[in-house]
Each structure stands twice: as C-alpha cells, then as structure tokens.
Amino acid sequence: MAFYDFKSKVPRTPLGQKIVEKVTDNIFLAVKPYLKDGFQILDVGAGNGEFAKRCLGNDFNYTAIEINDQYCQKLLLLGAKVIKTLVPPIPCSDNQFDYVHLSHILEHTTSHEKALELVLETRRVLKPKGYICIIAPDYLHSPTFFYDSDYTHSFITTENRVKLLLMDAGFKIVFSKYLNAWEIGGKGIILSTIGWFYNNLFYWLFYPFAKLFIESTRFSRTRGALHRSIFILAQKV
C-alpha cells in the first residue's frame, strides 16, 4: 500500500529520533501501571517499533499489526510477532488481548463509521476489562497541521470526539491527557504554546525561505515535534 509508505522513505534526524524516544518513554510510563505481568498486548500500526521495544523489554506478550514492509522487517528483527494487514477488521480471536495500542492510527480512518468499526474491533479482541490506548493529533491545536502534515489524515480527532467514540463503543475512560510535544503535564503546556505559534505563525512565515535550503517534506516534519496530541486510556465494560 504505497500511500502508507511515504513516511518510511524520509528518515528521522538524530534529534527527531531522540524526541520520538522521549515521547514513547512518557507514554509507556503512563500506561505501565495498568499492565500486569503476562499481559497480551496488541500494537496496531506499530511503525518503527518504538513501543514494541518497551513491551518486549518488559517481557509482555507482544503482537504487532503493520502494513509497511520495511517496518515489518524491523519489528521481526526485534523479536515481535507481526501480522501484516490493514485494519479493520483485526484478524485475531475474540477476547484475546489485555491491551490494544493505537498510536496515530485513528485519524487515518476514512469516516466516523470506519473509526467506530475500528474501535469496536479492538473491543472484540480485548478481554473483559481490557484496555485500549489511543494517541492521535489534536485537530483543535493546529487544524492546518492536521491535514497538511499527512495526506492520509481523514477522521478529525479531538479529545471530546475520541472520548465520545470510545464511550459509544462500550468503553469507560480511565484517563484523558494531552501529550504536548514530548511532555505530559505542566511543562507540556509551555511546549504546546510554543508549538501553536510555530505551527500557525512562524512556520508559514519561514517556509518560503526554508524550502530553498531544506527539503520541504523533511522541513514539514519539524511541525510534528511541537504539536499537541490526544492521549486517552479506556477500559472495556
């Protein structure tokens, strides 16, 4: 599926990789208290394997779903079980997993019907009282970034929309936070404010000059480093 391959063709800078590692560390630390030894974890759209490394390093039973060939190879080298497919549907049994991770996946669904279908599929494969974690860009923080950063973004994700979607699918919200750049909490508010000015003002002023010296696709990815994301953990009821 070529339209899901374009990001893998633009490698991260060393600084970009450090930011991704910091973000993933904070996400994993936030959800880890809810994960018990021996948990079966499903990571939908596992990408480069950042979350996979944390799960496998903590001896969880980890399974990845991924469509990109390059990412699948990286995940296999990490020792992950990999299912190469697009979702929905999720080709797994009912009540199989304790935790399902969807990081920057929901916004790629093509309608609210498809978004609900995906969330209902995660509910189906979750055990009773299992958890779903959703991380997605916050459309309200920077609407232009939401669409301009990725042409496959279709379903608008905001904190309230995602919470309502989860509740409609039979989940109760455990926590709902903002992930501001790489921080959760007070420091993140400062980063979020800086990110808003960068994404909505400075970037567009600087872009005509920067693209003379920096490849435009790579430069546009700098916006994601300071963008605000939704971070929600919910439990199957």
What is 75-136 written as a DSSP string?
Answer: HHHHT-EEEE--SSSP-S-TT-EEEEEEES-GGGSSSHHHHHHHHHHHHHHEEEEEEEEEEE
At residue 2, the pLDDT reads 47
At residue 197, the pLDDT reads 79
Whether residue 205 is contained in a domain is answered as no
Whether residue 123 is contained in a domain is answered as yes
Give the number of domains in the chain.
1
Shortest CA distance to 51 belongs to which of 78, 22, 24?
A: 24
* 6 CB-near residues (< 8 Å, 6+ apart): none
Predicted confidence band of residue 12 (pLDDT cuts 50, 70, 90): low
Whether residue 167 is contained in a domain is answered as yes
- Which of 63-67, 126-130, 148-152 has the weakest average pLDDT? 148-152
Whether residue 207 is contained in a domain is answered as no
Q: Give CA–CA dist 189/228, Å, rounded.
A: 9
- Which of 10-14, 53-57, 135-139 has the weakest average pLDDT? 10-14
Full domain range(s) for residue 35: 2-190+228-236
Average pLDDT for 60-71: 95
Q: Is the pLDDT of residue 226 over 60?
A: yes
Whether residue 174 is contained in a domain is answered as yes
At residue 187, the pLDDT reads 74
pLDDT in tens, 176-215: 999 887 677 777 778 778 777 777 777 667 767 666 555 5
Question: For 139, which DSSP code?
Answer: T
Q: Is the pLDDT of residue 1 over 60?
A: no
Whether residue 186 is contained in a domain is answered as yes
More confident residue, 179 or 106: 106
Whether residue 15 is contained in a domain is answered as yes
At residue 223, the pLDDT reads 72
86: CATH: 3.40.50.150
Q: Give CA–CA dist 225/182, Å, rounded.
A: 8
Highest mean pLDDT among 20-29, 145-154, 165-174: 165-174
Predicted confidence band of residue 221 (pLDDT cuts 50, 70, 90): low
Shortest CA distance to 44 belongs to which of 116, 144, 118, 96?
A: 118
Whether residue 58 is contained in a domain is answered as yes
Q: Which pairing describes strands 97-103 and 126-137: parallel, antiparallel, or unpaired?
A: parallel
More confident residue, 40 or 12: 40
Q: Is the pLDDT of residue 51 over 80?
A: yes
String of DSSP letters for 26-59: HHHHHHGGGPPTT-EEEEET-TTSHHHHHHHHTT
